Structure 1
């Protein structure tokens, strides 16, 4: 599920961008009721262009397929992007002594660092997604500030105690976003 649609405290739909856009389009045509809000998988509120009919929406949200490029002669492109890196002279001197050169060494260092921080990165992303969603949907609810303090302090018991009185659909979505926010990172 990449997106969810809320109308007030109620989750109306969940699914792909096109699926939720069609639901949001139908709901936004109704004059009464709270506004329709769409959230992505990172807890961000998103605004879709809902103009036109279902066919227009389908065309707008269609995935663009990459054209198949005939493989030519020579070395295959590996998706390597050249960018500038600013280092101190002693760093350049150290890189120059490494087997394979500076590029190989930097790639290895980045890979090792990204593997080592995967757990903490997931926790941070889950906390940020939870915070973004909860700010919009529960920012005026009792216990919001204490819940967010508990979220960022890594206290699942206090977090759960503060959100337990929130409406069911909001509560369920907050818990889904917070799923990895309290996992302990593997020792590294």
Structure 2
């Protein structure tokens, strides 16, 4: 199941929209029309990166440009529009196996080929085991990186930014909370959501 991509927009230090790209686009347009005094920025909740939205024209124009750019599949714009469909062949179902070259020492190949199932099966098992073992570390690193991207964009001039950054990458949640406590509430709450996946409850 594909996870829907969501976005959050800020008018200066105020959060003005969260959710679909379409909802954020209309909120950004409204903020700009109100002659906002701060920077109006939209962020990808999954990556912490800024997103450029064309808000020229009417609401219908904006939504029309975003049509097909679904929340769960923004990469649709990079697909080959005239690509010929590949016919499905009969027989065993495809498992998505991709053949690529790897380089190992002779003793590595000897050991792999001596394992039940041969080299390919053994390599797949080893990779899966490593993926599972490092899943939590990878998740934590991803959350730290997306948080720092957002922090760098909006909080670089806020007090204790450097201290909060160090606490973030040291995975010291309590110190991170302390250093960000005085920040504007919308910025602070969103940063904590990115860093630890905790949303503020009403």
What TM-score, normalized to structure 2? Answer: 0.79
More deviation in 83-92 or 133-142? 83-92
Moved more, 147-156 or 54-63: 54-63
Rounded Cα–Cα distance in structure 2 between residues aligned with 1:21 and 1:60 = 15
Task: Report the counterpart of residue 44 of structure 1 in structure 2.
Answer: 49
Q: Which residue does the alignment assign to 1:185?
A: none
Cα offsets for 1:43-91 (capped at 9, x unmatched): 1112234445134233252455x9x987541222211111221222221
Higher RCO (C-alpha 8 Å, min separation 6): 1
The residue number in structure 1 matching 2:125 is 108
Which of 51, 54, 67 lines up with 2:62 in the alignment? 54
Distance in 1 between residues matched to 2:38 and 2:13, nearest whole Å: 9
What's the CA shift for 1:25?
3.2
What RMSD in Å do the two structures reach over aligned CA positions? 2.5
Q: Is the 8 A contact 2:56 2:62 kept in 1?
A: no
Of residues 79, 88, 94, the one that matches 2:105 is: 88
Aligned mates of 2:159, 2:26 — CA distance in 1? 33
Please give the TM-score of this superposition, normalised by the length of structure 1: 0.84
Is 1:17 aligned with 2:34?
no
Gaps of 5+ in 1: 182-188
